[in-house]
């Protein structure tokens, strides 16, 4: 039960940020320190920070509700680990950034929850 609540919270955070970035790409870019120079840069923020993050949130939400979708939690957990890897490389190569550290900590928690949920799913099937 507590795991499902945590996964729902993770889903909602992703859906809210994704929707925010779709509607307000300039403000979303400001949060991470991006400068949007032309229409294509707005499209990139809308696509990656908006559409992709919103879709990830929806999949997590539905995976908690629908047993057939739970197998997707592992894949999304691995995607979050990929983000963590990128953050670690950035900290090592680019130097300390409070944003990078905070985002990386969130992504470690997200990956841990998702991969743990995937392991529990596998154990429950055996």
**What's the pLDDT tens digit per position in 30-62?**
998 889 999 999 999 999 999 999 999 999 999
Q: To the nearest whole number, what is the mean pLDDT of the chain?
A: 94
Q: Report which of 86, 88, 81, 16 is spatially closest to residue 53, judged by C-alpha positions.
A: 16
Give the distance from CA 49 to its chain's centroid.
9
The share of the chain scoring above pLDDT 70, in percent, equals 97
Residue 52 domain boundaries: 2-125
Instruction: Say what the pLDDT of residue 119 is.
Output: 86
Q: How confident is the model at residue 19 (pLDDT cuts 50, 70, 90)?
A: very high
pTM: 0.91
Could you identify the residue written with the tokens 């809308």? 46
Put residue 125 in one of left, alpha, beta given phi > 0 → left and psi -120 to 50 → alpha. Answer: alpha
Q: How far apart are CA 106 and CA 84, in angstroms?
A: 9
Q: What is the pLDDT averaged over residues 25-34?
A: 93
Instruction: Say what the pLDDT of residue 120 is.
Output: 83
> In this model, does residue 82 exceed pLDDT 60?
yes
Residue that wins the pLDDT comparison between 23 and 124: 23
How many domains in the chain?
A: 1
């Amino acid at each position: 039960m507590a795991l499902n609540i945590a996964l729902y919270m993770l889903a909602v955070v992703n859906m809210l940020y994704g929707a925010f970035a779709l509607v307000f790409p300039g403000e979303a870019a400001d949060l991470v320190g991006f400068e949007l120079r032309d229409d294509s840069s707005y499209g990139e923020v809308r696509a990656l920070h908006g559409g992709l993050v919103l879709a990830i949130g929806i999949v997590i939400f539905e995976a908690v509700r629908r047993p057939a979708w739970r197998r997707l939690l592992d894949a999304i957990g691995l995607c979050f680990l990929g983000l963590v890897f990128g953050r670690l490389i950035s900290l090592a190569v680019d130097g300390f950034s409070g944003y990078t550290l905070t985002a990386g900590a969130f992504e470690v928690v997200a990956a841990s929850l998702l991969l743990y949920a995937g392991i529990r799913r596998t154990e429950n099937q055996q």
